[in-house]
Amino acid sequence: MTQPTLFTFIFFLTNLLVSGKHIPTTLQGPFHPRTIRFDPSLRRGSDDIPMDDPRLKKNVTSMFPEQIALALSTPTSMWVSWVTGDAQIGPNVTALDPTSVASEVWYGKESGNYSSKKRGNATVYSQLYPFEGLFNYTSAIIHHVRIDGLEPETKYYYRCGDSSLPAMSEEHVFETLPLPAQNSYPRRIAVIGDLGLTRNSSTTIDHLSKNNPSLILMVGDLTYANQYLTTGGKGVPCFSCAFPDAPIRETYQPRWDGWGRFMEPLVSRVPMMVIEGNHEIEPQAAGITFKSYLTRFAVPAKESGSNSNFYYSFDAGGVHFIMLGAYVDYNSTGENGMLSFMFGCKFCCSKQNMEQQLLHHLNSRSSICLAKGRLTQSRSNSNPMACSSLASTMVHAYERMNRVYNYTLDACGPIYITVGDGGNIEKVDVDHADEPGKCPSQGDNMPEIGGVCHLNFSSGPAKGNFCWDRQPEWSAYRESSFGHGILEVLNSTYALWSWHRNQDTYKEDSPGDQIYIVRQPDICSSSTSLKVISYFNIYSH
Q: Where along the chain do its domains lie?
A: 34-360+382-432+471-535
Per-residue pLDDT tens over the stretch 8-45: 444 444 454 445 578 999 999 999 999 998 888 888 88
- Whats the size of the chain, residue-wise? 541
**Of 482, 392, 540, 425, nearest to 39 (Cα)?**
482
What strand order describes the sheet that includes 77-84?
A: 66-74, 77-84, 141-147, 121-123
C-alpha dihedral, 242 to 244 to 246 to 252, nearest 10°: 20
Which element (helix H / strand E) includes 340?
helix 338-342
> What is residue 523's predicted lDDT score, i.e. its pLDDT?
84
Per-residue pLDDT tens over the stretch 106-130: 999 999 999 999 999 999 999 999 8
**Of 196, 256, 282, nearest to 67 (Cα)?**
256
Nearest-angstrom CA–CA distance, 416 and 512: 17
Q: b/e for 479-507, b at 16 or more Cβ within 10 A?
A: bbbbbbbbbbbbbbbbbbbbbbbbbbeee
Per-residue pLDDT tens over the stretch 272-324: 999 998 899 999 989 999 999 999 999 999 999 888 999 899 999 988 888 88
Q: What is the largest CA-CA distance in the chain?
A: 72
Check: CB of residue 70 under 8 Å from CB of residue 269: yes
Mean pLDDT of 463-469: 73
> What is residue 339's predicted lDDT score, i.e. its pLDDT?
66
- Tell whether domain 34-360+382-432+471-535 is in CATH 3.40.50.300: no
Mean pLDDT of 90-103: 95
Q: What angle do CA 33, 515, 314 make, to 5 degrees?
A: 115
Q: Which residue has the higher pLDDT, 413 or 541?
A: 413
DSSP state of 443: G
